[in-house]
Amino acid sequence: MTLTLPSTAPTSVAQLMERAQQLAGLTLGELAQLAQLETPEDLRRHKGFSGQLLELWLGASAGSKPEQDFPELGVELKTLPIDEAGRPMETTYVCYAHLTGIAGLTWENSNVRNKLHQVCWVPIEANRQIPPAERRVASAFLWTPTPEQEAALRADWEEIMELIALGQVESITARHGQVMQLRPKAADGNALTDAIGRDGQFIQTRPRGFYLKKTFTRGLLEEAFA
């Protein structure tokens, strides 16, 4: 059978995962060609290529929205670059971190929890030695945090958000958090945004985002393929 681009969003989680599973074993080059797209020689200036290609193949709504990729299904799509041993090569970006107006924000209504409540992970071979076009999509899997995983995510989120609320954002480094960290997330070092300063006043600082640490996503791969 011929693989064709979906014209509509999946209507069920099962259909989404079925679509994802059909992509396993194919290369990014093959998927790009079938979608009439060019595969970049390297991802240096095309960092979002893999993710956007998979969005297309799974029927995710295009564009940038602070919501899930499949809002009707409550599912977020994440590609996960893996090495030859099947381990994550990079941390995983979760979402932008608001640095002001966070009073009353709780884990339950946070963007992080919303995004990670249900994720369709699509591992992709990503060894730097393999040209993007030859990288293969691996077996996708659906994940919902276990109570233990959610507790760990929540603890990190609460620790980091409290520091932000207390005006300590500039003292937060990627070393904070056991499974999730806060790191710069911007076009360049000149980007600045409002944050709360040490004395409660507004300050300008580099925009930040939440990222899942590799040890965490490595665990997800292990439990999915154990």
Our finding on whether 46 is near DNA (CB under 7 A) is: yes
Residue 191 found at the interface with DNA (CB under 7 A): yes
Amino acid in position 183:
R
Contacts of 184 (CB under 8 A, 6+ apart): 206, 207, 208, 209
Within 159-188, the residues that bind DNA by CB under 7 A are: 173-175, 181, 183-188
Decide whether 24 or 191 has the Cβ nearer to DNA.
191
Out of 104, 147, 189, 200, name the contact with DNA by CB under 7 A.
189
DSSP of 106-133, one letter per residue? -STT-HHHHHHSSEEEEEEE--TTS-GG
Q: How far apart are CA 190 and CA 211, in angstroms?
A: 21
Q: Cα-Cα-Cα-Cα dihedral of 111, 86, 29, 115, to 10°? A: -10
| Other beta carbons less than 10 A from residue 206's beta carbon | 18
Establish if 45 lies at the interface with DNA (CB under 7 A). Answer: yes
Under the criterion CB under 7 A, does residue 44 sit at the interface with DNA?
Answer: yes
The interface mask with DNA, positions 4-23, x = CB under 7 A, is --------------------
Number of residues lying near DNA (CB under 7 A): 58
Q: For the CB of residue 151, give the shortest distance to DNA in the complex, in Å.
A: 20
Least separation, in Å, of the C-beta of 199 and DNA?
21
List, as own/partner pairs, every contact residues 65-70 make where C-beta atoms lie below 8 angstroms and the sequence separation is at least 24, other chains included: 66/95, 66/96, 66/111, 67/114, 68/114, 68/115, 70/9, 70/10, 70/16, 70/120
Where helices occur in 2-106 by DSSP H, the ranges are 13-22, 28-34, 49-58
Which of residues 2 and 17 has its CB atom nearest to DNA in the complex?
Answer: 17
User: How would you classify the pairing of strands 92-97 and 76-82?
Assistant: unpaired
Identity of the residue, 3 or 192, whose beta carbon is nearer to DNA in the bound complex: 192
Give the C-alpha separation, 48 to 34, whole Å: 18
- By CB under 7 A, tell whether 219 contacts DNA: no
State which residue, 2 or 188, has the beta carbon closest to DNA.
188
**107 makes contact with DNA (CB under 7 A):** no
Which C-beta is closer to DNA: that of 104 or that of 175? 175
Q: Which of 10, 59, 81, 123 binds DNA (CB under 7 A)?
A: 81
Tell the smallest beta-carbon distance from residue 1 to DNA (Å): 26
**How many beta carbons lie within 10 A of that of residue 98, not counting itself?**
18
Binding site for DNA (CB under 7 A): 42-48, 50-52, 54-55, 63-66, 69, 76-79, 81, 89-93, 95-96, 98, 111, 115, 124, 126, 128, 173-175, 181, 183-194, 206-207, 209, 211, 213-215
